[in-house]
A and B are shown apart, each in its own frame.
Chain A
Amino acid sequence: MLKCLDHLAESSRSAFLSAAFLLALAVFAPLTFAQDQPAPPLTDSTGEATATPLAPVPPTAVTAIDRPNDAGGAITISWELSTDDAAGRVTEYKILRAEGAADGPGPFTEIGNATAGQNRFEDGNVEDDRVYFYKVAALNTLRENGITLTETTVESDVVGPVESHAQWFNTGRSRVLVGVLILSGLIIFYIQRARAGREIFIRKIAGLEAVDEAVGRATEMGKKIFYIPGSQDMDNVQTLAGITILGRVAELAAQYETHLEVPVSRSLVMVTSREVVKEAYIKAGRTDSYNDDQVKYLTDDQFGYAAAIDGMVVRERPATIFLMGSFYAEALVLAETGNSVGAIQIAGTGQPSQLPFFVAACDYTLIGEELFAASAYLSKEPRQLGSLKGQDVGKGLILVAIAIGIILETLHIWDVSKLFTVID
């Protein structure tokens, strides 16, 4: 009986061990012998199982032309996409180039590539007046886990010969030329008319009319005038326009014997402003009152300039502040500080994004073109006024063109709009 029980226990233990062994085998065998499993089938970019990728249809209608409207040194290659491109059987295009030899193209070398879906390539590494030939090859690459296994390349026909040249006229800008000629012609025409003695009516510009009042206020209060000609250098026309108005303000300040201070952010602006202020004081007969240090350089740094002027404004509390020229983010910082000390402020800029800030924080604002008109307006010199008339007539022509354009666009006639297209 005991023997029988022992046998039974022995059998159960053997069965248990066998079951445990089989379970372990089932769990670990796949891991142990994983490297012996067959590799997944090779696929091309479409996922089809294949040993080598399918050869794509080559790109067609390949053209190579001298890039238009440039200074030479570039050829534009374009092609129609392979019909296999959309199906994903093209992974990229390779551009091959050969230099021209006596008996045709020499050996081709790869000069660049374009991703699938692109049909244009700029070869910017060519020499002018040298002959080149091009081919475009479509590639279908077989990859596995990011590794290129094989690739199939199909080349287009050879195109060429083609040479690059520098052009003498940028035809894409011909419409700009027409516009410049018309506008300049109008301005010159009205300058001549004004020179001949024709009277020219100019509407009142409130901001410029207020210049006398603003200078007078500073005189009455016995306080300083600050003139800030913007944060840009002399290569900016807005700075030039600002310095032009400075001449008039300096002359008035000299006449009223009011102290004028011009903090600038550029050395060249400092030199020019000194010359303008000095001339204005001479013109007003107050040469002795002029001091070079009235025009002082602060810093080229945008916010350093704003911080320095803010400090001066808060400490010295000027009665009048002029902000005339090109301003960026410092515009509101300066204008609000001036506003906080109760100064009368006249601002003008050609930066559309800063104009709302000046309108909100200053008493008078010269909006864009008014800044450029200031010189003519203040000097009342006939030739300068004539240029304003020409400018206004130009504006009238543009308004008419816009009105015609709106009507034709509404009627789905696009020809007029195309006349204003500039190809760069």
Chain B
Amino acid sequence: MATLPPLFAALSDPTRFAIVERLLSEGELSAGEIHRGTGLSGPSVSRHLKVLSDAGVVRRRAERQSRIYAVRPEAIESVAAWAMSHREFWEASLDRLERAMMREMNRR
């Protein structure tokens, strides 16, 4: 999970976080479409997209004249794995353990 700190650093900016949210809900977007949603200058949006791309949050592909951006699914998966806290894991498992014991007791 060595790639997580740069990934979080890239997401810690509200503009970039908003860009990633849009990409997640709308799928692929061109640089122009992303720009229209922000109210920022073109170069400023390009800089944000470069940070996201360098951190591995988004990937870029060229299509005719435009650059198309999408979220890398691997990036979200590594965040999801990290976000499952150990307390959540154990509390949820132990709830099930308790139910398994209750079933066992009711059988007798």
Our verdict on whether A and B bind, yes or no, reads: no
**Chain A interface (Cβ within 8 Å of chain B)?**
none
**Chain B interface (Cβ within 8 Å of chain A)?**
none
